[in-house]
Amino acid sequence: MLSTLRIPIVQQCNDNQELFVEIKDSNIIETACSLFQNDEYPEEYRTITIQFIEGCCINNCLREFTLKTIKRIGYSEFICIDENYPAEIKKSLFVIISYYLDYYGFHAAELTFDCYILHFIVDIIEANSEIALDVLEKIMHYYDEKGRLKEILFNDDFPAILDSLEKVYETSTDIEENRIDHFLEYYKQVSTSDKQSGLSSASILNL
Q: Please, which contacts does 150-154 make with residues 24 or more away whose CB atoms are closer than 8 Å?
A: 150/196, 150/197, 151/113, 152/113, 152/118, 153/190, 153/191, 153/196, 153/197, 153/198, 153/199, 154/197, 154/198
CB-based contact 199:162 (threshold 8 Å): yes
Mean of pLDDT values over 159-175: 87
At residue 187 the predicted structure's pLDDT band, cuts being 50, 70 and 90, is confident
- Higher model confidence: residue 24 or residue 64? 64
Return the pLDDT at 201: 38
- Higher model confidence: residue 3 or residue 169? 169
Q: What is the percentage of the chain residues whose pLDDT exceeds 70?
A: 85
Return the pLDDT at 57: 92
pLDDT digits (tens, 9 = 90+) for 132-147: 999 999 999 999 999 9
Question: How many helical (H) and strand (E) elements, i.e. helices and strands, does the chain have?
Answer: 14, 0
Return the pLDDT at 9: 64
3-state helix, strand, coil in the chain (%, to 5): 75, 0, 25
Mean pLDDT of the chain: 84
Note the pTM of the prediction, 2 decimals: 0.85
pLDDT beyond 60 at 75: yes
pLDDT digits (tens, 9 = 90+) for 76-129: 999 988 888 888 999 999 999 999 999 999 999 999 999 999 999 988 888 888
